[in-house]
Amino acid sequence: MTNYWSIPGFEDIYLEDSWVLSIETGESTLTIAVDFVLRESHPLYQAPQSGEQYCYRRGLIHFGSVTALSWTGQGAVPATDAAGEHDLGSFDEFEVKDNSFTISGDFGRIEVVAPRPTVEFLE
């Protein structure tokens, strides 16, 4: 098992304190919208905004060419933060073994078989 930071594009983000905003599945796709915590080594890093502990940047984790997907433990009620935005909690696990990924948190447990995911920043 390898941790997520070994995946190209993930090495300068910190998922453990990032927030999952939504999860969408489609025909052979899985997309997770995230408020990513950026490490200081990330090229988009900026000093945290007033009142925040980390530099957050909104984006997506996208899996394409999904050949198997299992999502258990769905149905948690989204939390609402001080700004009134909803989230599904943070990541407890994001591990990879070959082309198999295990992702878990308050949103449940997702097991997906696909090529390595990509990270896209929206802001």
**Could you tell me if 59 and 119 are in contact, meaning their C-beta atoms sit under 8 angstroms apart?**
yes
Domains: count for the chain: 1
**pLDDT of amino acid 86:** 83
Range of the domain at 37: 2-121
Consecutive 10-residue averages of pLDDT for the chain (123 residues): 85 95 95 97 95 94 98 80 80 94 95 97 87
**pLDDT of amino acid 82:** 64
Let me know if 122 is exposed, middle or buried by CB neighbors in 10 A (0-12, 13-18, 19+). exposed
Closest residue by Cα to residue 116 from 34, 36, 1, 4: 4
pTM of the model: 0.92
